[in-house]
Amino acid sequence: MRYVLLHPPMWRPDTVAPALETSQVEARPVRLARDLVVADDRPTVFLLDAESRSVFPVDVMRAFVDAGGAIVALGRNGETDVPEGLPTEFLSGFLTQPTSPRRLLVAIRAGFREAAARAETARARGEAAQRSREIGELTRIGVALGTERDIKTLLDLILTQARRITQSDAGSLYLVEINQHGDKRLRFRLAQTYSKPEAPFVEHTIPVDRGSLAGYCAVTGDPLVIDDAYFLPPDVEYTINRSFDERYGYRSKSMLVIPMKDHKDEIIGVLQLINRKRNLDAILATPVDVEKQVVPYSKRTVEMVTALAGQAAVAIENGRLYEDIEKLFEGFVLAAVHAIEQRDPTTYGHSGRVAGMTVGLAEVVDRAGDGPYRGLKFSREQLKEIRYAALLHDFGKVGVREQVLIKAKKLYPSDLSLVRHRHAFIRRTAEREFWRKRAEFLEQNGKNGYDSFSKELEAAHQQELKELDQFLEIVLQANEPTILHDEGSFEELKAWAQRNYLGLDGAAEAFLSPDEMRFLTIRKGSLDDAERHEIESHVSHTYQFLQRIPWTRELQQIPLIAYGHHEKMDGRGYPRRVTADAIPIQTRMMTISDIYDALTAQDRPYKRAVSIDRAIDILTTEVKEGQLDADLFKLFIDGKVFQRQQVAED
């Protein structure tokens, strides 16, 4: 061990030089307070004479001692005790004057021993503090890895953190893949190079064998610590691929290759770090930079990266499991939507279109720079929650009778068929009556006046047939659903309902029964009040179904979001008739998308599809009436959400 003796400039160290073993002790004169520092972590003693006390303030000496140095003070002639103003806790020795070289040598050696002890204590404390920081850093990284579920983001986080804690310039990450035949390969999933950020990344696979660094690590499960990748020992099985270095003018030198093992001690990937640097921000642009900056990976860095790799492996496995669960749930949701559409083919694609527009509107809201929603942001999980709620908003239709669910016209097909048969019966009766009257005339009058009678009878008969056909046409027109309450008039229909015909038993019967009139005079849509109530119950069925699903915390609002998609801001919606304050913004967005798609959908047999302009006009009317959120509707129009949905379909 070498020692450093700091002394005042006027003191002559050669007075004790032979006894100090000068080959091990470096004597340095100290003139200024700023020069009073512990030298390179070596045991350092400062010899303080009386004349130098004023040059070195108490706080400077305190800092020197705290850093591990020791102070031996020399008193003035006649001083027998440590003078006031010179704290005794700073001193390892105090020598009165005059003093002998022997006493001075003993004091200096004692100071060196004390400085060495302090330096060792400081080193141990520093090492303990460093270990504590490392443990804390690994804990923070572990927490970050544990909360990230997106695999791509997770892999990037793993490699970035591994490079940061080891001060590595570059790194790559491989994951083990197993094909359907059970064969393993390593997929090169990610690469980062601080000094060559422009280098493109190309994903590919390599064999799991001993020929490559990553393959060797995956086969053996042992880390590789390489001081210089260009000078590997001649007896190793692996080689380094220099293609990246040659293509981009890079120099891979120190390398650390660590297997990532999961909780079952199975290798799921390999983490490879390249060129540990003295300074993390240094750029390795030239070979000189590499020689100056790159250092080998220490034993401690291997331990840290091994710990990080273990955390990373578990995080990746959890991420994959979460992905599998998401895929499973996505399949369940799509199967549920398919079940709805199989039961009601007329609305095929409706749920998907509404989901697409609602998510699109949420993204527009997320970017809004002004208006009441300018500060509102939706996370990735919240967008997923909105999408699932929109996809499943009509699932409750499975609890609605199929004949009501797919009712395309105001009359059920069997009821319309009965009206058609009735029309045909009345028409045939009219024709039979026409021929009966002709026969009776001929029987009673012969041909006398027959031509005139026949002409009048034919004209009356044709007029009657025309009126009967007009009756059927009026019924068919009235049977067509309307979009708005004020479309269509039923005066002619009511007039026909008051007319009678003779049935088979000779009794008078109405052209239209009260039930038929009730359906045919429906003002909007194809459903009467009872049927509409049954259809509207699908919202409650949806809510009850979705409530039974054990949603994760991020998706727990799905039942409530879907529940209100037919509610209106002014309380005129259903089923709860709540007002704006009780309707989540996600639901308000879905309501706009749902109405727009219902108006413009081409596959609804019970109504004509309206044009985009007409649909926007109808929605605008509902906004003015206070039924829809005006600010969201403006964003829906300004963001052209409906057009993006149209492009997606095309």
Q: Which residues, 6+ apart, have CB-to-CB distance to 311 below 8 Å?
A: 138, 141, 142, 145
With vertex at residue 180, the alpha carbon angle to CA 186 and CA 324, rounded to the nearest 5 degrees, is 80
Look up residue 460 and give its amino acid.
Answer: A
Check residue 474 and give its pLDDT: 92
Tally the C-alpha atoms within 13 A of residue 468's C-alpha that lie toward its C-beta.
21
Question: Measured between alpha carbons, how far is 647 from 650 in angstroms, rounded to an integer?
Answer: 5
Question: pTM (2 decimals)?
Answer: 0.60
Q: What is the CA radius of gyration of the chain?
A: 46
Question: Measured between alpha carbons, how far is 220 from 257 in angstroms, rounded to an integer?
Answer: 12
* CATH number of this structure's domain 3-123: 3.40.50.2300
Please, which residues bridge with residue 45 across strands?
Answer: 5, 70
Break the chain into its structural domains and give their ranges. 3-123, 148-321, 344-403+531-649, 413-525
**DSSP label at residue 556:** T
**Nearest residue to 360 (alpha-carbon basis) of 589, 580, 602:** 589
Check residue 505 and give its pLDDT: 85
Could you tell me if residue 340 is left (phi over 0), alpha (psi between -120 and 50 degrees) or otherwise beta? alpha
- Annotate 141-163 with three-state secondary structure: HHHHHHHCCCHHHHHHHHHHHHH
Check residue 647 and give its pLDDT: 45
Check residue 458 and give its pLDDT: 92
Please, which residues bridge with residue 421 across strands?
Answer: none
Question: Measured between alpha carbons, how far is 481 from 409 in angstroms, rounded to an integer?
Answer: 6
Question: Measured between alpha carbons, how far is 167 from 189 in angstroms, rounded to an integer?
Answer: 21
> Does residue 539 contact residue 565 with C-beta atoms inside 8 Å?
yes
Check residue 134 and give its pLDDT: 67
Question: Measured between alpha carbons, how far is 635 from 364 in angstroms, rounded to an integer?
Answer: 7
As separate numbers, helices (DSSP H) first and strands (DSSP E) second, the chain gives 21, 14
> Does residue 562 contact residue 542 with C-beta atoms inside 8 Å?
yes
> Does residue 635 contact residue 361 with C-beta atoms inside 8 Å?
yes
Question: Measured between alpha carbons, how far is 377 from 374 in angstroms, rounded to an integer?
Answer: 8
Check residue 544 and give its pLDDT: 94
Check residue 644 and give its pLDDT: 67
- Annotate 422-470 with three-state secondary structure: HHHHHHHHHHHHHHHHHHHHHHHHCCCCHHHHHHHHHHHHHHHHHHHHH
Question: Measured between alpha carbons, how far is 588 from 362 in angstroms, rounded to an integer?
Answer: 11
Q: Which residues, 6+ apart, have CB-to-CB distance to 581 below 8 Å?
A: none
Residue 224 structure tokens: 């590789």
Look up residue 358 and give its amino acid.
Answer: T
Check residue 18 and give its pLDDT: 62
For CA atoms 86, 87, 92, 95, give the dihedral sign.
positive
The Cα-based distances of 250 to 194, 231, 240, 469, 471 in angstroms read 11, 16, 13, 90, 89
Check residue 484 and give its pLDDT: 60
Strands 3-7 and 44-48: parallel
Could you tell me if residue 613 is left (phi over 0), alpha (psi between -120 and 50 degrees) or otherwise beta? alpha
Could you tell me if residue 349 is left (phi over 0), alpha (psi between -120 and 50 degrees) or otherwise beta? left
> Does residue 326 contact residue 552 with C-beta atoms inside 8 Å?
no
Buried residues in 198-225 as b, exposed as e (16+ CB within 10 A):
eeeeeeeebebebebbbbbbbbeeebbb
CATH homologous superfamily of 148-321 equals GAF domain (3.30.450.40)
Q: What is the pLDDT of residues 107-161, one digit of tens each?
A: 888 988 998 888 888 777 776 776 776 677 766 767 666 666 678 888 888 888 8
Question: Measured between alpha carbons, how far is 267 from 600 in angstroms, rounded to an integer?
Answer: 54
> Does residue 381 contact residue 555 with C-beta atoms inside 8 Å?
yes
Question: Measured between alpha carbons, how far is 633 from 616 in angstroms, rounded to an integer?
Answer: 10
* CATH number of this structure's domain 344-403+531-649: 1.10.3210.10
Lateral strand order in the sheet of 25-29 = 25-29, 3-7, 44-48, 70-77, 91-97
Please identify every stretch of the chain with a pLDDT value under 50, giving residue numbers as ranges. 647-648, 650
Compute CA 229 distance to the chain's CA centroid, rounded to the nearest angstrom.
39
**DSSP label at residue 298:** P
Question: Measured between alpha carbons, how far is 539 from 549 in angstroms, rounded to an integer?
Answer: 16
What's the N-to-C CA distance of the chain in angstroms?
A: 81
DSSP letter string, 220-265: H---EEES-TTS--TT-S-B---HHHHHHT----SEEEEEEE-TTS
> Does residue 225 contact residue 219 with C-beta atoms inside 8 Å?
no
